[in-house]
């Protein structure tokens, strides 16, 4: 009895710091955003000089968000982006990890650091750097292509989304690779020996030993990437002034930012953020369920 009580005290002691921070920086802001998304402001006089009051508005902000073409376009845009970006990112990270893990690989520590290095560059800085490589007249890449007779515009409506995808891939492929490398390192080398004795070649080892065993790492990095793509923000924000194709609601996050800080409509911004959070939840848990079910089928 006594020991159970002290166990419980210990558990509470260990959990308290987490719960405190979780409440202060996660549950509270979400609760506040939900609360704010249900409010609206009424004003008296053309400049509100007659006073204003905050009233309960029900779901009208959600209705406004979901009937706004620009916001719906932004959701479609990030979904299209995710369909391309997630497989590309995970494929690249997996290939890089397998290359580094290959028996014949040379200079592994160097390449591992080199691939990982972009992750140390903040997204805003990365976007500024890549921005210089995208702007005509400043970019050496465009100059070289021009000299070769190819005129490209990396910032127009047809290409800018993929220019952004390039920045994001550059930034995060190395990080995802490292997660996969860590799991590859954890594979017991006896399994390779056994496979080799059974006559498996390098490809067969990858297909039948390595890939199944790094599945959890791939699932984890996929969920990270899904959430990351939906939350696309810094890259389009930084590239916006240089491009004629990034509008103020290019991604859902950018739309919420614009509503909150340019149009001072915090309630609509809160509604948009809640919608985005729900979408991210549905997609990442949906993905986890999907891969979980396949696991059970085996």
Instruction: Using CB under 8 A, list all residues that contact another protein.
Output: 19, 23, 27-28, 31-32, 35-36, 40-49, 52, 54, 64, 70, 132, 135-138, 156-158, 240-249, 258, 261-266, 268
Half-sphere exposure (Cβ direction) of 179: Cα atoms closer than 13 Å: 21
Shortest distance, CB of residue 167 to another protein, whole angstroms? 17
Question: From residue 72, how far is each of 225, 232, 252, 265 by CA, in Å?
Answer: 21, 15, 8, 18
Shortest distance, CB of residue 12 to another protein, whole angstroms? 10
Q: Do 238 and 127 meet the contact criterion of CB atoms below 8 Å apart? A: yes
Q: Do 126 and 212 meet the contact criterion of CB atoms below 8 Å apart? A: no
Secondary structure (H, E, C), 57-109: CCCHHHHHHHCCHHHHHHHHHHHHHHHHHHHHHHHHHHHHHHHHHCCCCCCHH
Closer to another protein by Cβ: residue 117 or 262: 262
Question: From residue 277, how far is each of 39, 58, 200, 273 by CA, in Å?
Answer: 19, 19, 46, 6
Closer to another protein by Cβ: residue 232 or 270: 270
Shortest distance, CB of residue 127 to another protein, whole angstroms? 14
Q: Do 206 and 228 meet the contact criterion of CB atoms below 8 Å apart? A: no
Shortest distance, CB of residue 77 to another protein, whole angstroms? 13
Q: For residues 177 and 213, what is the distance between their CA atoms, to the nearest angstrom?
A: 15
Angle at 61 between CA 267 and CA 23, to 5 degrees: 50
Closer to another protein by Cβ: residue 40 or 206: 40
Closer to another protein by Cβ: residue 162 or 182: 162
Closer to another protein by Cβ: residue 42 or 193: 42
Shortest distance, CB of residue 295 to another protein, whole angstroms? 25
Helices (H), the chain: 2-22, 28-36, 60-66, 69-101, 108-116, 123-134, 140-147, 160-185, 189-197, 202-205, 211-213, 215-230, 234-239, 252-261, 266-297
Going by C-beta distance under 8 Å and a sequence separation of 6 or more, which residues neighbour residue 208? 195, 200
Shortest distance, CB of residue 19 to another protein, whole angstroms? 8
Shortest distance, CB of residue 29 to another protein, whole angstroms? 9
Closer to another protein by Cβ: residue 5 or 106: 5
Shortest distance, CB of residue 236 to another protein, whole angstroms? 13
Closer to another protein by Cβ: residue 122 or 286: 122
Closer to another protein by Cβ: residue 157 or 188: 157
């Amino acid at each position: 009895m006594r020991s159970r009580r002290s166990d419980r005290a210990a558990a509470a002691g260990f959990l308290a710091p987490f719960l405190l921070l979780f409440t202060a920086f996660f549950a509270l802001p979400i609760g506040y955003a939900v609360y704010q998304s249900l409010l609206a402001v009424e004003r008296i006089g053309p400049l509100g000089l007659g006073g204003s009051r905050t009233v309960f508005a029900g779901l009208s902000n959600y209705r406004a968000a979901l009937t706004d073409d620009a916001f719906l376009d932004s959701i479609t845009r990030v979904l299209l982006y995710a369909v391309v970006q997630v497989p590309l990112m995970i494929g690249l990270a997996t290939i890089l990890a397998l290359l580094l893990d290959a028996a014949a690989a040379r200079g592994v520590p160097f390449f591992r650091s080199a691939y990982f290095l972009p992750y140390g560059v903040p997204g805003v800085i990365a976007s500024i750097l890549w921005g210089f490589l995208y702007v005509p007249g400043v970019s050496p890449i465009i100059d070289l292509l021009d000299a070769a007779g190819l005129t490209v515009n990396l910032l127009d409506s047809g290409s800018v989304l993929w220019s952004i995808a390039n920045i994001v891939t550059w930034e995060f492929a190395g990080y995802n690779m490292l997660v996969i490398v860590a799991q590859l390192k954890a594979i017991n080398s006896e399994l390779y020996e056994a496979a080799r004795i059974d006559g498996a070649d390098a490809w067969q080892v990858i297909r039948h030993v390595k890939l199944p065993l790094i599945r959890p790492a791939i699932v984890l990095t996929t969920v990270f990437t899904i959430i990351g793509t939906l939350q696309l923000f810094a890259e389009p924000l930084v590239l916006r002034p240089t491009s004629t194709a990034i509008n103020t609601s290019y991604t859902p996050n950018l739309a919420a930012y614009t509503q909150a800080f340019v149009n001072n409509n915090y309630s609509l911004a809160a509604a948009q953020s809640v919608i985005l959070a729900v979408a991210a939840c549905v997609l990442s848990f949906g993905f986890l369920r999907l891969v979980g079910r396949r696991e059970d089928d085996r």
